[in-house]
Amino acid sequence: MPDLSRDTLVSTLEEIALLLELKGENPFKTRAYRKGAEIVQNFDGDIVALAAANDLKGIKGIGEALQQKLHELASSGSLAYHEDLRAEFPPTLFELFEVQGLGPKKIKALYDQLKISSVEELKEACQGQDIAKLSGFGKKTVEKILSAISNREKFADRFRLGEVAPLAETLLARLRDHPKVSRSAIAGSYRRSKETLHDLDFLVATTASAELTKFFTDFPEVHEVIAHGETKASIRLENGLQCDLRAVSNPHFPFALQYFTGSKEHNVELRSLALKKGLSLNEYDFTGDSEIPEVQEEADIYRALGLSWIAPELRENRGEIEAAKTGELPKLIELSQLKGTFHNHTTASDGKNTLEEMAEAARDHGLQYLGIADHSKSSFQANGLDEKRLSEQIVTIQKLNESFQDFALLSGSEVDILKDGSLDFEDELLGQLDYCVASIHNVFNLPEKEMTTRLIRAMENEHVTMLGHLTGRLLLRRDPYAVDIQKIIDCAAETRTVIELNCNPWRLDMDWRWWQRARDQGVLCAINPDAHATEQLQFLAYGARLAKKGWLEQGDVINSLPLTELQKWLALPKSER
């Protein structure tokens, strides 16, 4: 079954409604699709599975025609009716759908009245006078559209780590398994675990480079061959991602791996260190007047320069070379050291799996505890729990826990931080939980000062164990909201509030660039997948990678504690943690 989300069903129906509207079709028909989208959005249950099983009969507001279309979409991953409709419009029109803040009404006005059917045309219009004639396009709106367009340009050629990782590993395995490849790796920003990437830099050691570049450009995923030479090739995949391959000899491999892992800034420092030792370092080898060190693997290069091997995540020229000189590199946290997690959802709010299913998946992952933090009542769009449902969940979890050995579910809540910094539940109820994650899910547009005060007020609550997804950013999609992160770190240190490293590949929030500082101030990190389905527990791997990038060690990460120690820690008042 195609891996298709509720969002896809909803956006497809909405798009159909809009296209019918643009065509000037009967408004009843349009309304039926729009209503359908709304019903699918709010349906209490696994609507995707029901649609795939053609089991939508009896759902009010979804007629037979719509049932069939949803079934086709959910079971095959596409819908012929939708594709045909799209084909009636210039393909560039659909770019407009990707501009943040541009809803169906506005797109229709632009298309009908100004004949705008591409982002390029929209940009021109926004810079000129014409657009002011349309109702609903005041100065502020136009500014917002222009900034959304510039965001789109900025992000156009980047990809989220989690979006490329599965494919990257598949392609790497294919190269590794080639009989004429002795070593292989993905270098570049992928190896450094950057949160977003421009391209993938594959590297192989081989004696048959021409055969390998051909093998690479013949991959079935290739959309376009950008360059194809004897030892180098570049391809673009169907999803737009560029992949480079360099084929080198086995002795050159460690040098190429070091060089193409980057970062550029790290390499500049390293080369100047080499020069001081009378060695010149490039992507092939060491040269120079000094004795040439023997190099079998990457660590030998660092050792030759008087450094311990530096984990790729740290190679951003943020003090790692100095630390490697003095033997003060951190002993980085490992995925295998995580014993549990706190921020996870179930079908009680907007998750896809039940408590039992989530618990089973967590045990399969080898975790000792799984924290359940479903949404609170203000997040009604996510079916947040009210006081009664949360109290019931606490009891259910207690009962379930009686059936486990060496494993426990923890009762938590992802409680909404309201606009003024107060919480969505009273202290009395929060006090009955094992812990609580406090997050912002609405009113994102406060000025920085107010937003910071809002978060600080939440942290000052004794029951707030940790802050969830600190800045609300969605990588390559939505900017972080305005917040003074240094002040938040100060307050976290003072109030002993943990800060989450949200591992959802869209978030990876708090940003890795802040963790070193937070750790220095004694702030603890919780690596949380924010799992909305059992398979999303795998996001922990991205969290571990980004935690490394933030220089974190086992002792900085609260969910590296084994269950019994964690329970003792949770039982302490915040001031003693």
Specify which residues 414 forms β-bridges with.
375, 437
Provide, rounded to whole angstroms, the least separation between the CB of residue 195 and ligand DGT: 10
118 binds, among ligand DGT, Ca ion, Zn ion, none (CB under 5 to 8 A by kind): none
260 binds, among Ca ion, Zn ion, ligand DGT, none (CB under 5 to 8 A by kind): ligand DGT
**Any idea what DSSP says for residue 479?**
P
Least distance in Å: CB of 260 to Ca ion? 8
What is the helix, strand, coil percentage profile of the chain, to 5? 50, 15, 35
> DSSP per residue over 262-300, as a string?
--HHHHHHHHHHHHHTT-EE-SS-EESSSPPPP-SSHHH
Contact residues toward ligand DGT (CB under 6 A) are 188-189, 194, 197-199, 201, 259-260, 262-264, 267-268
Q: Is 201 in the site for Ca ion (CB under 5 A)?
A: yes
- Min dist. Cβ of residue 369 to Zn ion (A): 20
- Distances in whole angstroms, Cα of residue 306 to Cα of each of 161, 254, 300, 332: 32, 17, 10, 20
Per the DSSP assignment, residues forming a β-bridge with 159 are: 197
Closer residue to Zn ion, CB minimum distance, 474 or 563: 474
Question: With CB cut-offs between 5 and 8 Å by kind, which of Zn ion, Ca ion, ligand DGT, none does residue 331 bind?
Answer: none
Closest CB 437 distance from ligand DGT, rounded Å: 31
Query: Binders of Ca ion among 36-55, rule CB under 5 A?
Result: none
Nearer to ligand DGT, 259 or 425 (CB): 259
Q: CA 300, CA 308: separation in Å to the nearest integer?
A: 9
Instruction: State which residue, 312 or 384, has the beta carbon closest to Zn ion.
Output: 384
Q: State in angstroms the smallest separation of the CB of 534 from Zn ion.
A: 18
Q: Which stretch binds Ca ion (CB under 5 A): 117-125, 191-199, 264-272, 517-525?
A: 191-199
Q: Name which of Zn ion, ligand DGT, Ca ion, none residue 14 binds, using a CB cut-off of 5 to 8 Å depending on partner kind.
A: none
Of 9 and 168, which CB lies nearer to ligand DGT in the complex structure?
A: 168
Q: Which is nearer to ligand DGT, 234 or 439 (CB)?
A: 234
Shortest distance, position 249 Cβ to ligand DGT, whole Å: 18
Using Cβ positions, the residue closest to Zn ion within the complex turns out to be: 439
Tell me whether strands 286-287 and 340-341 are parallel, antiparallel or unpaired. unpaired
- The CA distance from 218 to 200, in Å, is 17
Q: Cα–Cα distance between 179 and 69 in angstroms, integer?
A: 47
> Shortest distance, CB of residue 71 to Zn ion, whole angstroms?
31
Q: How far is the CB of 315 from ligand DGT (least distance, A)?
A: 8
Enter the tokens of residue 169: 């590993």
Q: Is 244 in the site for Ca ion (CB under 5 A)?
A: yes
Beta strands in 339-391 (DSSP E): 340-341, 369-372
Nearer to Ca ion, 199 or 511 (CB): 199
Query: Closer to ligand DGT at the Cβ: 201 or 424?
Result: 201
Q: Which residues bind Zn ion (CB under 5 A)?
A: 439
Please say which residue, 411 or 504, places its beta carbon nearer to Zn ion: 504
**DSSP of 424-451, one letter per residue?**
SS-HHHHTTSS--EEE--S-----HHHH
Annotate 502-523 with three-state secondary structure. Answer: ECCCCCCECCHHHHHHHHHCCC
Q: Is 320 in the site for Ca ion (CB under 5 A)?
A: no
| Residue 512 partner contact from ligand DGT, Ca ion, Zn ion, none using kind-dependent CB cut-offs of 5 to 8 Å | none
Looking up tokens 């000062």 gives 449
Report which of 236, 199, 201, 231 is spatially closest to residue 213, judged by C-alpha positions: 231
Which residues partner with 222 through β-bridges? 237
8 Å CB contact between 528 and 501: yes
At 366, give phi and psi (nearest 5°): 80, 15
Judged by beta carbon, residue 439 or residue 465, the one nearer Zn ion is: 439
Which amino acid, residue 375? H
Nearer to ligand DGT, 213 or 346 (CB): 213
Structural contact between residues 80 and 37, judged by C-beta atoms closer than 8 angstroms: no
Judged by beta carbon distances under 5 to 8 A according to partner kind, the member of Ca ion, Zn ion, ligand DGT, none in contact with residue 536 is none
Comparison of 159 and 342: residue with beta carbon closer to ligand DGT: 159
In the complex, which residue's CB is closest to Ca ion? 188
CB of 549 to ligand DGT, least distance (A): 13
Which of Zn ion, ligand DGT, Ca ion, none sits in contact with 105, Cβ below 5 to 8 A by type? none
**CB under 5 to 8 A by kind: which of ligand DGT, Zn ion, Ca ion, none does 461 bind?**
none
**Nearest to ligand DGT of 163, 424 (CB atom):** 163
11, 47, 542, 379 alpha-carbon torsion, rounded to 10°: 80
What does 439 interact with, of ligand DGT, Ca ion, Zn ion, none (CB < 5 to 8 A by kind)?
Answer: Zn ion
CA distances 116 to 17, 21, 139, 370, 393, Å, are: 19, 15, 18, 50, 51
- Shortest gap between Cβ of 196 and ligand DGT (angstroms)? 7
Residue 259 to residues 167, 246, 253, 529: CA-CA distances in angstroms? 23, 12, 10, 32
Stretch that binds Ca ion, among 184-192, 204-212, 425-433, 509-517 (CB under 5 A): 184-192
**Distance from chain centroid for Cα 143:** 28
Q: Which of 163, 199, 424, 511 binds Ca ion (CB under 5 A)?
A: 199
Q: How far is the CB of 159 from Ca ion (least distance, A)?
A: 10
Total residues in contact with Ca ion, by rule CB under 5 A:
5
- C-alpha span between 410 and 484 (Å, rounded): 31
Q: Is 383 left (phi over 0), alpha (psi -120 to 50) or beta?
A: left
CB of 476 to ligand DGT, least distance (A): 12
Contact between 262 and Ca ion per CB under 5 A:
no
Contacts of 328 (CB under 8 A, 6+ apart): none
* Position 278, amino acid: G
Residue 12 contact partner, candidates ligand DGT, Zn ion, Ca ion, none, CB within 5 to 8 A by sort of partner:
none
Q: 439 vs 471, which CB is nearer to Zn ion?
A: 439
Least Å distance, CB 266 to ligand DGT, is 8
Q: What is the binding site for Ca ion (CB under 5 A)?
A: 188-189, 199, 201, 244
